[in-house]
């Protein structure tokens, strides 16, 4: 219970606020410095075709290799990046780096993979985004078709007209738009009604319950049917077991992503996997060989 006196609460609050402000200012400086010093890196998580198990793409996931604190995950710095506006230059770095990676893979014969990039709502609506994307794919010598832009439903909190025209423009330019964490928030269906997206990523919370909870199976089945009716692809996120894979295959999910197949990996590791298990630029990960 809250039995602390008002006076004490206030002083605790003030002390917290003070450390908080101090720390967040330091972090903002660090974040900017991290970007300038090239301390960010991308790890790539394979996405596999649900029927064949073949790797069809990678999601680029941001990490910050801090010189003192080691590897820092997005949960610990994305909010700060968003509130300070640094998310746009950071997002630009992600776009540049991941399109160059597609180019490097192409050069070594890994040619049939797409790259999925997470974009914050703020960056997604930023006026320079379409130009920046085209600059990067031109420099990397790749097609827009290889690039998937992931947005979350938070984008629906922004001006709907602006979001719709942005999605239409990017779609006309050849980029695919994906709705990340589909079903997690409250505005999932607004997307489907208004936004011409190519795919939805079914949130991990539903996938993790598949097989344990018949309601989840029903919900996932309904999402997949709905997507099929609207001509959208579906990606199951956070697949951790063979059973979840089997159920998603039965339900007709298009692609899958999750620890069962692979964690997000560094480029070197992916290249080794292609060397070891790849056949003519195609890769079936060891775990995905277990087809039924
Ligand atoms: P997300 O886009 O939904 O990415 C999937 C997250 O789930 C990743 O966490 C991934 O490592 C994790 N994951 C994948 N498979 C499994 C699984 O089988 N089980 C479990 N428990 N987790 C799994 P990560 O890399 O920590 O990223 C967290 C979030 O940070 C992302 O969620 C995305 O919203 C955001 N994020 C990551 N990179 C970027 C970026 O470059 N820009 C922006 N704006 N946001 C990013
Ligand atoms: Mg994502
Ligand atoms: Mg997600
Ligand atoms: Mg997320």
pLDDT in tens, 21-61: 555 555 777 899 999 999 999 999 999 999 999 999 999 99
Choose which residue among 65, 74, 98 to substitute to test ligand 1 binding: the one with the highest number of ligand atoms within 8 A of its C-beta: 74
Q: Which residue has the higher pLDDT, 201 or 11?
A: 201
pLDDT computed for residue 47 by the predictor: 98
How far is the centre of ligand 4, averaged over its atoms, from the C-alpha of 118 (Å)? 9
Residue partners of 207: CB distance under 8 A and separation at least 6: 220, 236, 237, 238, 239, 244, 248, 258
pLDDT computed for residue 157 by the predictor: 78
pLDDT in tens, 155-189: 877 888 999 999 999 999 999 999 999 988 877 77
Strand ranges (E), the chain = 40-49, 55-66, 70-72, 114-118, 147-151, 176-182, 199-202, 233-236, 255-256
How far is the centre of ligand 2, averaged over its atoms, from the C-alpha of 194 (Å)? 21
Ligand approaching nearest to the C-alpha of 78: 1
**What is the average pLDDT across 59-86?**
93
Return the residue whose CA atom lies nearest to atom 8 of ligand 1: 61
Confidence band for 229, pLDDT divided at 50, 70 and 90? very high
How far is the centre of ligand 3, averaged over its atoms, from the C-alpha of 233 (Å)? 15
Q: CA-to-CA distance for 95 and 258, rounded, in angstroms? A: 22
Ligand approaching nearest to the C-alpha of 240: 1
Return the residue whose CA atom lies nearest to atom 16 of ligand 1: 238
Q: What is the pTM of this model?
A: 0.92
Angle at 62 between CA 56 and CA 68, to 5 degrees: 145
Choose which residue among 118, 204, 263 to substitute to test ligand 1 binding: the one with the highest number of ligand atoms within 8 A of its C-beta: 118
Ligand approaching nearest to the C-alpha of 150: 2
CA 179 to chain CA mean position, Å: 9
> What values do phi and psi take at 210, rounded to 5?
-60, 130
């Amino acid at each position: 219970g809250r039995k602390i006196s008002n006076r004490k609460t206030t002083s605790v609050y003030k002390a917290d606020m003070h450390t908080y402000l101090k720390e967040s200012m330091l972090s903002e400086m660090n974040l900017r410095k991290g970007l300038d010093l090239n301390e960010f890196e991308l790890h790539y998580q394979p996405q596999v075709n649900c029927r064949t198990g073949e790797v069809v793409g990678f999601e680029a996931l941001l990490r910050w290799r801090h010189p003192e604190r080691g590897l820092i995950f997005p949960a610990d710095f994305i909010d700060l990046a968003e509130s300070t506006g640094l998310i746009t230059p950071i997002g630009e770095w992600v776009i540049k780096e991941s399109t160059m990676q597609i180019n490097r893979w192409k050069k070594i014969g890994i040619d049939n993979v797409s790259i999925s990039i997470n974009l914050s709502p703020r960056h997604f609506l930023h006026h320079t985004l379409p130009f920046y994307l085209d600059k990067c794919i031109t420099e990397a010598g790749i097609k827009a078709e290889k690039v998937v832009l992931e947005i979350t439903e938070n984008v629906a909190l922004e001006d709907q007209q602006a979001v719709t025209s942005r999605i239409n423009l990017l779609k006309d330019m050849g980029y695919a738009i994906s709705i990340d964490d589909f079903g997690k928030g409250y505005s999932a269906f607004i997307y489907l009604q208004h936004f011409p997206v190519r795919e939805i990523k079914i949130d991990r919370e539903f996938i993790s319950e598949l097989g344990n909870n018949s309601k989840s199976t029903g919900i996932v089945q309904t999402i997949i049917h709905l997507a099929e009716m609207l001509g959208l692809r579906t990606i199951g996120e956070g697949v951790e077991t063979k059973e979840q894979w089997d159920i998603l295959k039965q339900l007709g999910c298009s692609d899958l992503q999750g620890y069962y197949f692979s964690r997000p990996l560094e480029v070197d590791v992916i290249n080794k996997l292609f060397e070891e298990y790849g056949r003519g630029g195609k890769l079936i990960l060891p775990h995905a060989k277990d087809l039924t």
